[in-house]
Amino acid sequence: MSSFSDFSPESLHAQVLLDVARALQEDVGGGDLTAALVPPARRARARVLAREAAVICGAPWVDAALRAMDPGVRITWHVAEGQRCAPDQVVLQAEGEARALLSAERTALNFLQLLSAVATKTATYVQAVQGTRARIVDTRKTIPGLRLAQKYAVRTGGGTNHRIGLHDAVLIKENHIAAAGGVTAVLRAAQQVAARAQFIEIEVETLAQLQEALDAGARMVLLDNMPLPMLHEAVRLNAGRAILEISGGVTLESVRALADTGVDRISIGALTKDVKATDFSMRLQELP
């Protein structure tokens, strides 16, 4: 799988099922000992409430967790995927077997709280650069095993996915340049895998490296930890020849000034790495 932009619904569904199966095995294992205290025929209605404002994300994972425990569960979303919810708003209602709802609760909420947090943070950054040409881009700094889920959340929040992994694109960094013998040499070597890569990007730290990369035919350049004056000069020097991306230490306070330099992309590891889960809770009511 290379990106969510070319995911078929079937491929996305398959990934969701894998994620949910792994999470339920981790949590439920051989059986929910506490839920077994509830009579097996008892039915219930569950309401999921948002305790804070957020961009809702993770519905495919929540639905899959609930249906894995009760295939006949009835699920009604009151806030659509990608839409904002308000504090104390009911975002979801489900009716089904009480035992199943109880067993699926934590897995469903774990996906919802993580992915909504990523989507919400992404949307905040996207809003901060509105009106500029810069797109907000994610990185590979993700929770192991949940990269595709988190990158889905970035897209739901209005962001753009960078490469999914080492297998689908080339990002040449400082160590690659040193090991390969310099900027020009490493870019020439990269052409050997160009047909299999979505893109080839090279990281530079100085204006001299940027000029060398441009002279060697670079079409995508990552400007690493450059101060604002240098970024402005880099954009002028580039003159539209390559896609320019900023990376390194980007914060919500600094992102607008960075976007105003005229770069094309700003990659932010904090979208998926430094995430505070959105607060949701589930409340059950027995059905007659």
Catalytic residues: 106, 141, 173, 203, 224
* Sequence-separated contacts (24+) of 258-262 with Cβ below 8 Å: 258/134, 258/228, 258/231, 259/128, 259/129, 259/132, 259/133, 259/134, 260/132, 261/228, 261/231, 261/232, 261/234, 261/235, 262/132, 262/133, 262/232, 262/235
- Other Cβ atoms less than 10 A from the Cβ of 221: the count is 24
For residue 199, which phi and psi values (nearest 5 degrees)?
-160, 165
- How far from the centroid of its chain's Cα atoms is residue 256's Cα? 21
| CA 122 – CA 62 distance, rounded (Å) | 20
- The residue whose two tokens read 């957020």 is 54
Q: What is the DSSP code string of 92-142?
A: EEEEEEHHHHHHHHHHHHHHHHHHHHHHHHHHHHHHHTTTSSPEEE--S--
Partners of 55 in beta bridges: 84
